Structure 1
Amino acid sequence: METIKTDLLVIGAGSGGLSVAAGASQMGADVVLLEGHEMGGDCLNYGCVPSKALIASGKSAYGMAHARQYGIADAEPRVDYAAAKDHVRDVIARIAPVDSQERFEGFGIRVIREYGRFVGKDTVEAGAHRITARRIVIATGSSPLVPPIPGLDTVPYLTNESLWALNDRPDHLLVIGGGPIGMEMAQAHRRLGSEVTVIEGARALGKDDPEMAAIVLEALRAEGIEIAEEALAREVRGTPGAIEVETQDGRVFKGSHILVAVGRKANTDKLDLDKAGIKTSRTGIKVDASLKTTNPKVYAIGDAAGGLQFTHVAGYHAGIVIRSALFGLPAKASTNHIPWATYTQPELAQVGLTEAQAKKEYGPRLEVVRFAFQHNDRLIAERKTTGLIKVMVVKGKPVGVSIAGHQAGELINLWSLVIANGLKMKHVANMVSPYPTVGEVNKRAAGAYFSPRLFENETVKKVVRLVQRWLP
């Protein structure tokens, strides 16, 4: 067995692990990177990238079938589902070199394509290698959670991992789980010609503001997607191509394929964490604010750390770890400025507190500012006026923003910047947006905050009248 000593060992070559490894190596650290599966992790191979590629295919088909409103004749799209999957694979292939083993070896990183397991507090074995490191970063990501529904193991089912190998379009896709993954894939498949039923045990898009989620759900139902809420699956039965899901209240849903999208679980089972004195929680590895585990030599980032499960969170965590592990500087992770988005059409995005959370925390000090998309000229021109932005404000400072509508995932970027840097509504109001753009929605929301202070304030009116008397 080869013995290796290094400054930093990174376990997992997903987005977070690759960011840590590349940053540390380019700053002069000796780095070893372990990956037992595919470089790029879930995001590149099964998650963010392929899902957005398939969404793009669905959006194209939908646009053809709904062109009349722009003066173009509607056309029935001829969907080639296998070709759409080829498009997905091509997109992955074009991005893959950025995450490739060769590229990271070019940074001077030792890349070992094996799974690792702890054999001591600072030592990991991976295949024929025994690696001792000054600091270790666990970036093993997460996998689809498959719930113990009776009968599920007797029928073929899909997850976000196995879905991409399917080249025959489902006639009727049953989706168990009404979260972001489930709703995105539901709409994409509906637009590509499948019948779709979403079966959600509680409330669909339940982690988002209910008012904003309702805007999205109404649009999805209008496209012909059946969304059954408060429908907890009790039993799955059937044969390939003829599957039934029965819920606790006795409803039965029939389809040809079933996609399980109820959440994800941290990949920790193979690590032998107890041998390194590393404790876990219900959702992942236990970490403190600096992302250190109960073993001070070991960090956990991204999905493995059991918090928000987004690629951009893993990248953010990477920066925290680099400051701490490489420079010994104090660095703490926070979540108040972390945005997320669901890429349905219309999109759904959030940063900071929702309205309900902000009311609970701030009570009467909270102001909620609203601006409807129907008042934005660019959105009127593009006939995409379904949407709303809500900004939760305390003493002039945004503490949360919820957006449902066209390009919500793009619009939320500005508010993430504002909240991350402690900026106020006046800073957004001072911004000048080119006309006509969707981005004016953000500025108009800020304007809605100041309008009553300026136009409905009697003191302001008195001052203006007084000044006018004295102006030459």
Structure 2
Amino acid sequence: MKVIYDLIVIGGGPAGMRAAARARQLGASVALVERGPRLGGTAVNDGVAPTRTLARAARYLRDARQQFAAYGIQVSGLRLDFQGLMRRTRQVVAALHDNHQFDRTLRDIGVRVYTNAGQCRFISASKVRFRSTGNGDGEHTLEGRRFILCVGGRAREVSFPGSDLAINHHQLWSLECLPKSLIVVGGAATGCQVASIAAQFGAQVTLLEMAPRLAAVEDPDVSTFVREHFEQRGIDVVCGIGGVEKIEKHADGLCLTYTAGGAARTVEADAVFVAAGWPGNADTLNLGVAGVEVERSYVKVNEHLQTTAPHIYAAGDVNGRMMLTQCAKLQADIAVENALGGNTRRYQPLLISHGSFTDPEYAGVGLTEEQARQDHDCIVKRVPYAQLDRAIIDNHTDGFFKLIVDRATHRTLGACAVGEQATDIVQAVAASMQAGETVDELSHLELAYPTYTFIIAQAANAIAHELGRPSRTPAERVVAGAGAAADKETARVEFAL
């Protein structure tokens, strides 16, 4: 019996799994095709989860070296068992698979799952073909009415003499020992994380970046703070390089030649890690047959995440839009709902928080201060961690939180933080932004004490007061409406407790 699926999802990472599950919720018949042996994608298998495990180990080492003595804890013989740590990363990945049971969960709700499918390719606008050596062995041709492309991305391959001597994101997990010295090429999120972790593990790190600053998409104040603290920890940061010319193998390691200011410079290390971008996997699908346009390795989509073929949508890294796990899941929901129900939802990424698990940690949501000032009359409050009780308690007073508010509407335009638990702070602001709260309402949130998120209330209250219209609780508004000095408000005072 011929089967025509309502929706075929290609790719089994966060976007693909979310798309398949959402489509089943909406009553569609769904097939999911994953090229690898298991679901989860880069995020679970060799990306965020194992990298965060390394970052956790780096934090433990940092605290043992820098913090324990301040709290009367004496530690001797501290050392890193690198092979033991790599075993731990594999254990974490296995535990996540055991916890979520991705494959079984999707099958239980009626999704037809194919794994180990290799290269799935379109053979017409409505059919794909692949050979599976996993669930459902053999060659398969599937026909669908709608498609969601969720095939993700990969570490960019670089081409210069000796580039094969470098390692990239995918090869990182095969290391058997920690290099004593490391050159990291690329100062965006991935490069900064690897540099930060390796330095905490004791490696001598050189970080090279072509942009004029690290983490170039972040607020400039964040970039400056991260660079300063990297350099304080002994990381040699070089921004504004012209490019990498070559890598040569010497008897005692590798020698990398790069250009800066028009001159050639060299740096030596035991290993070179390249984080030079993350292109999409659009070139693997034979999309031309289906009428789907590709731009610079990414599938071209509109605001509804619809490709140039009306029945095909794309979610996650493959469309090149803000490549984060949380974005992939949101895009999957939007793509599925639009594919099955008409283009009713638009993708709006500004309210999605993002962060990097470097040390110091940094995060942001919405507009940066520079972006906000281009189109808005805004008010900005920067609160240093040194004014935050929890940071004082934890002895982590390096950092700051910045809140950006529109002066006319009192709406939050953006926020950023750098320092301990920066990501948790910023995603709390993101939730407030999604709820449409004004800074007046945000200033009245009774946040738990002592927490890092308490810094949000400190910034919000300062802005609410500076706006000249101190915020009121419902009870205060009732009293004011009753005529009790309604036209004479007293600025609301917030103590630390």
Q: Which TM-score bucket, shorter chain as reference?
A: over 0.9
Match status 1:392 vs 2:371: no
Match status 1:221 vs 2:224: no
Count of residue pairs the alignment pairs up: 457
Residue in 2 aligned with 1:14? Answer: 13
Residue in 2 aligned with 1:183? Answer: 192
Question: What is the distance in 1 between the residues matched to 2:148 and 2:489?
Answer: 61
Could you list the per-position Cα deviations for residues 31-82 of structure 1 after superposition, in whole angstroms to 9, with x for gaps in the alignment? 1111111421111111100100011111112221112222323545211100
CA distance 1:241–1:291, shift in 2 (3 Å): farther
Question: What is the distance in 2 between the residues matched to 1:165 and 1:200?
Answer: 25
Give the match's secondary structure for 1:160: coil
Shifted more, 80-89 versus 434-443: the winner is 434-443
Q: Conserved in 2, the CA contact under 8 Å of 1:240 and 1:257?
A: no
4+ residue segments displaced more than 6 Å: none
Residue in 1 aligned with 2:87? Answer: 86
CA distance 1:166–1:4, shift in 2 (3 Å): farther
Per the TM alignment, residue 453 of structure 1 is displaced from its structure 2 partner at its CA by 4.3
Residue in 2 aligned with 1:328? Answer: 342
CA distance 1:206–1:443, shift in 2 (3 Å): same
Q: Which amino acid aligns with 2:192?
A: M
Shifted more, 132-141 versus 243-252: the winner is 243-252
Residue in 1 aligned with 2:389? Answer: 377
Question: What is the distance in 2 between the residues matched to 1:58 and 1:119?
Answer: 48
**What is the TM-score normalised by the length of structure 1?**
0.92
Residue in 2 aligned with 1:470? Answer: none
Give the match's secondary structure for 1:42: helix
Q: Which amino acid aligns with 2:388?
A: N
Residue in 2 aligned with 1:135? Answer: 146
Question: What is the distance in 2 between the residues matched to 1:108 and 1:328?
Answer: 23
Question: What is the distance in 1 between the residues matched to 2:297 and 2:251?
Answer: 33
Could you list the per-position Cα deviations for residues 385-430 of structure 1 after superposition, in whole angstroms to 9, with x for gaps in the alignment? 1111122211211111121111110001122122223321011111
Residue in 1 aligned with 2:44? Answer: 44
Question: What is the distance in 2 between the residues matched to 1:68 and 1:251?
Answer: 41
Per the TM alignment, residue 3 of structure 1 is displaced from its structure 2 partner at its CA by 6.1
Residue in 1 aligned with 2:481? Answer: none
Match status 1:95 vs 2:109: no
Q: Conserved in 2, the CA contact under 8 Å of 1:3 and 1:131?
A: no
Q: Conserved in 2, the CA contact under 8 Å of 1:79 and 1:193?
A: no
Question: What is the distance in 2 between the residues matched to 1:50 and 1:129?
Answer: 33
Could you list the per-position Cα deviations for residues 67-99 of structure 1 after superposition, in whole angstroms to 9, with x for gaps in the alignment? 222232354521110000011000000002325
Give the match's secondary structure for 1:244: strand
Residue in 2 aligned with 1:60? Answer: 60
Residue in 1 aligned with 2:122? Answer: 118
Q: How does 1:65-464 map to 2 (within 5 A)?
A: 65-66=65-66, 67-73=68-74, 75-97=76-98, 98=100, 100-113=102-115, 114=117, 115-127=119-131, 128-153=139-164, 155=165, 157-202=166-211, 203-231=213-241, 232-238=243-249, 242-248=253-259, 249-282=263-296, 284-328=298-342, 330-362=344-376, 365-394=377-406, 395=408, 396-453=410-467, 463=488
Question: What is the distance in 1 between the residues matched to 2:39 and 2:254?
Answer: 35
Q: Conserved in 2, the CA contact under 8 Å of 1:213 and 1:404?
A: no
Question: What is the distance in 2 between the residues matched to 1:4 and 1:75?
Answer: 65
Shifted more, 6-15 versus 237-246: the winner is 237-246
Shifted more, 127-136 versus 106-115: the winner is 106-115
Q: Which amino acid aligns with 2:306?
A: K
Question: What is the distance in 1 between the residues matched to 2:228 and 2:359?
Answer: 11
Shifted more, 335-344 versus 84-93: the winner is 335-344
Per the TM alignment, residue 4 of structure 1 is displaced from its structure 2 partner at its CA by 4.2
Question: What is the distance in 1 between the residues matched to 2:304 and 2:63?
Answer: 46
Give the match's secondary structure for 1:207: coil
Q: Conserved in 2, the CA contact under 8 Å of 1:277 and 1:294?
A: yes
Question: What is the distance in 1 between the residues matched to 2:489 and 2:323?
Answer: 52
CA distance 1:32–1:455, shift in 2 (3 Å): closer
Give the match's secondary structure for 1:190: helix
Q: Conserved in 2, the CA contact under 8 Å of 1:303 and 1:310?
A: yes
CA distance 1:62–1:274, shift in 2 (3 Å): same
Question: What is the distance in 1 between the residues matched to 2:224 and 2:428?
Answer: 24
Percent identical? 28
Give the match's secondary structure for 1:251: strand
